[in-house]
Structure 1
Amino acid sequence: MIDNIKPKEATAIVNSLLGGVVPKLGVQHITVGRSPEIAAFLQALNDVKNGHSMVKFWIGDFGSGKSFMLHLLNTVALKQKFVVANADFTPDNRLYANDHKAVALYAAIMDNIAIQTKPEGGALATLLEKWMEQVMSRVAAAENIPLPSIRDQKHLPKVQAAIMATIQELTDVGGFDFGTVVMKYYEGYVTGNDTLRRDALKWLKGEYRTKTEARRDLGVREIINDLNYYDMLKNFCRLFVSMGYSGFMINLDEAINLYKIASSATREKNYEKILTIYNDCFQGKIEHFFLNFAGTREVLENERRGLFSYQALKSRLETNKFETSALRDFAQPVIRLMPLTHNEVFVLLQKLKEIFDFNYQSQLAITDADIEAFMEEMFNKPGASEFLTPREVIRDFLNILSLLRQNPELDKKQLFGDIQIRDERPGANDSAVDAIEVL
């Protein structure tokens, strides 16, 4: 049932799910019941490849699979040659702020940039160096300079001039400082000055807090801040596309942390920023840009604190009035994620058992009938209909497999009977309002 899984992926899946979080690697091997959503997403990716931009809101109850879906989208987009970044909203990360909380979100995005050859993130330096190699090749060809010689310091001004010219063509706002810093990175790259490279990367990732520091280290007058970080994201999007990538996709999870902002004025400013991005994407003001948000129904629909409290967003995000549970519209901006059916959970547990055996080179005596018995115990427990989430089903199942692997003499039926249902919903035990769910 599980084809072409790599040992590293199997280990990531087992360890992450046992820890109650979504694995960064291998999510495609445990995907069930999401074919229509993925088909619609592939179509949206194709539109973005062709120059359009897109914003999607993945909405569902706790346990419906929002975080898992974003990780799956990440895997699919990387295979389609997108540059991808993932970040979570937190009390200290948001879209609008005047106390460094917006640029903190930007820094998290830039720190998590991934490409297919570096899916775990941290790929910004790799991308910059790849682009610089492209620029060097163009300069060498235009100036009839042997390619091995283009790195000589005597050619540094020519390459820097080409870098600045290209950056100026690609950028609308902040192009001069952006280009100057990229030139500094190039200088450090070809001369082996690691300090200069680190300082340039620090600026590009929005980690400078004062203009004085940036001017001292890099000779630039501006820094990336709460007001201009979105312009820099658009600059990077154009840069990535100029390198040959399909586009730039950003996944933002835990939108509940925008909903939880205490100040109504600040909350509204964050929703206004979402509206700005939404309008830019759908009005063609930016190309090859894809932004995904994930949040609960309350985040979307609450008319006092949610996105619907901002009338301009409500009018854009209201569900297609002709949509039903049987007749879905996956082309609209809001995609509502339905919980997995019992049949889909059964298929998922079958896959997990195979991955577990593959990871530990074991062959546990767990049959399909045993999986059915486990599910019957889980779903018939008091409180299961109200509190049980796929994350808890998965974790309990893997915990039992782990015990049986290490203690083959244990009675699996007794382990099934010992299962207890816990209320893992946000707030039930002073936990975060939208804790990361697996599925």
Structure 2
Amino acid sequence: MIDNIKPKEATAIINSLLGGVVPKIGLQHITVGRSAEVEAFISSLEDVKNGHSMVKFWIGDFGSGKSFMMHLLNTVALKQKFVVANADFTPDNRLYANDGKAVALYSAIMDNIAIQTKPEGGALVTLLEKWIEQIITKTAQDKGISLADIKEEQHLPAIQNNIVRTINEITEVGGFDFGMVVMKYYEGYIKDDEQLRRSALKWLKGEYRTKTEARQDLGVREIIHDLNYYDMLKNFCKLFVSMGYSGFMINLDEAINLYKISTTVIREKNYEKILTIYNDCFQGKVSNFFINFAGTQEVLENERRGLFSYHALKSRLGTNKFETLEVRDFSQPVIRLLPLNHNEIFVLLKKLKAIFDFNYKVQLNITDEEIQLFMEEIFNKPGASEFLTPREVIRDFLNILSIIRQNPGINKQQLFGEIEIRDERPGESAVDSLVDSIEVL
């Protein structure tokens, strides 16, 4: 039996893993074989809490657990009172662009902001209103006015002055417009003007496409765009820390979509942006900021299109030459996620069987020996060594449990024998060939 699991967590775990995605909650119940990585990560969080900043690259094969690791890092960071956010690189979300694709990444980050009381995201409004309440309380104390009276409209200028002063103290680039928009949000908050609050939130999330529209709605001169969104992320980091949070952590998954950018110049500009973030964090130009990137070995090491094709990154991201499979260094920027071994997968499958039983209120007659038999069948199939991923093992196992639950008399060994190995990897070779052709042209 899994200790302290909640029904909501059990359902999320089973449904998500059956769908081939990582559950957003309950990861602590299915974490196996990553204790060393998590311990090193907690140590890094302590450094970031103390004012340092950090960049980590989590590298592993498809299905090796990169996305799982990103979500696990979130769970750990939330408990350490970090504000966290997840976003995936896609063909339309990048670090650098001149056609709106970079600000689209920023918008995805802001949509997914989470705190411990809202771990599934959508916490930006909660944070804004919490910060505004802190400003209101401080203004009331400074003015000797009760909290009930300070929210009356005649005290609006005093609140606004404190908002502007506080914003000016914590921001560097874009602080004026940022402060103006927060003031507008407060104005909508105090006057119960939902449209004004929505407009302010739209600006803060980078959803305005023209300055004219933003000026009409909010009276500001600037909008968040491809070239200034990173400065705004740093401003939010300082804001969150000023509220009492430990820092701001952003996880960026699916770095393969930067590798796949067909235009060499644009791809290198994205790598240049990674270099800028890396240098800012490790040279102390930004505080309490933690960014994690997740990608495959090809994304990191390919000399023509990977991160190593950009010399300044290659020199920074080289592996510690004294590291081996047995002797690991988790303090370096690149963390290579090794596949789970068979013992670890066995422990994981036992955990999943217990969660499955709890979720469906059943007690399936599956013994440890039968779990081992399932593993022998799947790992000895033709193609298993080349194509089999933990994701596919988990999904096949849960699919078999689903069949047994609904068909109690079925022959389990026959089910195990019907397992087929599929190549779940994206067609990189085709992408490589296409991009190579484009680059030659």
**CA distance in structure 1 between the aligned counterparts of 2:78 and 2:3, rounded to whole angstroms:** 19
**CA distance in structure 1 between the aligned counterparts of 2:404 and 2:151, rounded to whole angstroms:** 59
1:321 aligns with: 321
**CA distance in structure 2 between the aligned counterparts of 1:300 and 1:88, rounded to whole angstroms:** 17
2:424 aligns with: 424
1:40 aligns with: 40
Offset at residue 62 of structure 1 (A): 1.4
1:250 aligns with: 250
1:100 aligns with: 100
Match runs of 1:16-415 below 5 Å:
16-415=16-415
Q: Which amino acid aligns with 1:376?
A: E
Offset at residue 427 of structure 1 (A): 1.1
Offset at residue 430 of structure 1 (A): 8.3
Residues 390 and 429 of structure 1: CA distance in aligned 2, closer, same or farther (over 3 Å): farther
Deviating beyond 2 angstroms after TM superposition, the runs of 4 or more aligned structure 1 residues are 428-432
Q: Deviations over 1:146-193 (max 9, x none)?
A: 111111111111101100110010100000000000000001111111
Structure 2, unmatched stretches of 5+, are 433-441
Tell whether the 8 Å contact from 2:88 to 2:253 is kept in structure 1 after alignment. yes
Offset at residue 5 of structure 1 (A): 0.9
**CA distance in structure 1 between the aligned counterparts of 2:240 and 2:50, rounded to whole angstroms:** 14
TM-score by length of 2: 0.97
Q: Which amino acid aligns with 2:204?
A: L
- Secondary structure of 1:241's counterpart equals helix
TM-score by length of 1: 0.97
Instruction: Give the CA RMSD over aligned residues.
Output: 1.2
Offset at residue 429 of structure 1 (A): 11
**CA distance in structure 2 between the aligned counterparts of 1:111 and 1:67, rounded to whole angstroms:** 18
**CA distance in structure 2 between the aligned counterparts of 1:430 and 1:350, rounded to whole angstroms:** 38
Offset at residue 411 of structure 1 (A): 1.4
**CA distance in structure 1 between the aligned counterparts of 2:409 and 2:2, rounded to whole angstroms:** 28
- Secondary structure of 1:138's counterpart equals helix
Offset at residue 234 of structure 1 (A): 0.2
Tell whether the 8 Å contact from 2:94 to 2:258 is kept in structure 1 after alignment. yes
Residues 413 and 266 of structure 1: CA distance in aligned 2, closer, same or farther (over 3 Å): same
Aligned residues: 432
Q: Deviations over 1:233-277 (max 9, x none)?
A: 000000000000000000000000000111111111111100000
Offset at residue 339 of structure 1 (A): 0.3
2:435 aligns with: none
- Secondary structure of 1:92's counterpart equals coil
**CA distance in structure 2 between the aligned counterparts of 1:117 and 1:430, rounded to whole angstroms:** 44
- Secondary structure of 1:410's counterpart equals coil
- Secondary structure of 2:293's counterpart equals strand
**CA distance in structure 2 between the aligned counterparts of 1:149 and 1:105, rounded to whole angstroms:** 41
Q: Deviations over 1:198-256 (max 9, x none)?
A: 00000000000000000000000100000000000000000000000000000000000
Q: Which amino acid aligns with 2:107?
A: A
Offset at residue 423 of structure 1 (A): 1.1
- Secondary structure of 1:375's counterpart equals helix
**CA distance in structure 2 between the aligned counterparts of 1:179 and 1:422, rounded to whole angstroms:** 53
1:436 aligns with: none
Offset at residue 431 of structure 1 (A): 10
Q: Deviations over 1:27-81 (max 9, x none)?
A: 1110100011000000000000000000000001112111110010011000100
- Secondary structure of 1:58's counterpart equals strand
